[in-house]
Chains A and B, each alone.
Chain A
């Protein structure tokens, strides 16, 4: 078993026992969706508004929980234990894997809730693909920013401030691609968006793998 898988399974087991991130994101999703439904009432919402709501819920759910995987190692004082057991890159890949799978699952949950409660929202295969690529992008940004801010005291504030500028290009593409997919666009119309998202994710992961070795020690 690769070292990254061991780190991934450790985080899964830890999350299963403590359920901190899962409960936070679940509660955040339900709360924000309830607020949207109360505000909208019986009125029909346009597709662009629905898409905006979807990614607002998704991004803020991610922001509320994803930093935990790195920050909690520092907060709970376990970082020095991990430091003597594994390389920086194995830990990063393990935690990225955890965040990516976790974000995809949370996004599926949001997608189900939106499909049930919002009439104009009808997810198709392209939307699911956009959602998966977007989740990987959000998880990649969250993981490296969490690694950067994990050694700082006021980490939560810094986390949002640092993540947002890196996420802007991804968010713009996600919103455009989501709208196109729900409006029933063909693959040829969305090829550029998919290429951008794949390129964004690969570049970000490669840069992060390089950066993490410098962030590993103080």
Chain B
């Protein structure tokens, strides 16, 4: 079994000469989970996007490893999943079509039974043939979790895990967060105290010295 890990090495981010955070460093690997916390505007979402390699850091570097060998940036998408309330799935496609697209692009072979089980788990089975555009924001968020759980990527990044979710949705997501730690490296950004229980390590951006 391959061992995947991530190294965040002295990451700093500056927007318009204003320092957002400075020298953030940590190691993450499959089996552990890291919560990024901090006050509003402390750069939690920005840090997550830097870890995803969607935004370049002003200083420092993010490196992904497989069996201690660095994974090239261009192919890192094969190992990551991201769940956040601020991106959309294809609204003109049904839930099943979105799932199939993700499975095909990630070259995974997943049976229809497993897909149906996951849709059931996230209470979406009865809506699986409905266009995502007709979903509520909570259902869209659950579908993103459903896709992440089907893909079972080595690194799972989540921003605001329970955003838009009702109590039932929160319970499903909490179970998912507990479960996914054994197979993936989980990194999530949150301000909710009850969500910190799933982390082995907490990175608090508010405590960083910006000088």
Contacts and interface: CB of A to CB of B under 8 A. Distances in A.
B81 A18 contact: no
Determine which residue in A83, A84, A90 has the highest number of CB atoms from chain B within 10 A of its CB, and name it: A84
A38 interface: no
Contacts of A83: 52, 54, 77, 82
B25 to A, nearest CB: 21
B171 to A, nearest CB: 25
A89 B72 CA distance: 14
B90 A78 contact: yes
B91 interface: yes
B53 A217 contact: yes
A217 B86 contact: no
Q: Contact residue range for chain A?
A: 20 to 34
B88 A77 contact: yes
A191 interface: no
Would you call the interface of chain B mostly helix, strand, loop, or mixed? loop
Determine which residue in B54, B92, B105 has the highest number of CB atoms from chain A within 10 A of its CB, and name it: B105
Contact of A87 (B49, B55, B75): B75
Given A88-B74, A213-B74, A217-B54, A81 B105 contact: no
A6 B87 contact: no
B182 to A, nearest CB: 21
Interface string B130-166: 0000000000000000000000000000000000000
Contacts, number: 66
Interface in A21-39: none
Q: Contact residue range for chain B?
A: 20 to 34
Interface string A84-117: 1111111000000000000000000000000000
B24 interface: no
A14 B105 contact: no
A199 B87 CA distance: 39
A86 B105 contact: yes
A14 B92 CA distance: 7
Nearest to A91: B105
B102 interface: yes
25 contacts: A6-B101, A7-B105, A10-B90, A10-B101, A13-B97, A14-B92, A18-B92, A76-B91, A78-B87, A78-B90, A80-B54, A80-B84, A80-B87, A83-B82, A84-B52, A85-B77, A85-B105, A85-B106, A87-B74, A87-B75, A87-B77, A90-B105, A217-B55, A217-B56, A218-B56
Given A14-B93, A80-B54, A85-B77, 15 more contacts: A6-B104, A14-B92, A18-B92, A77-B87, A77-B88, A78-B88, A80-B86, A80-B87, A81-B87, A83-B54, A85-B101, A87-B77, A88-B74, A89-B74, A217-B53
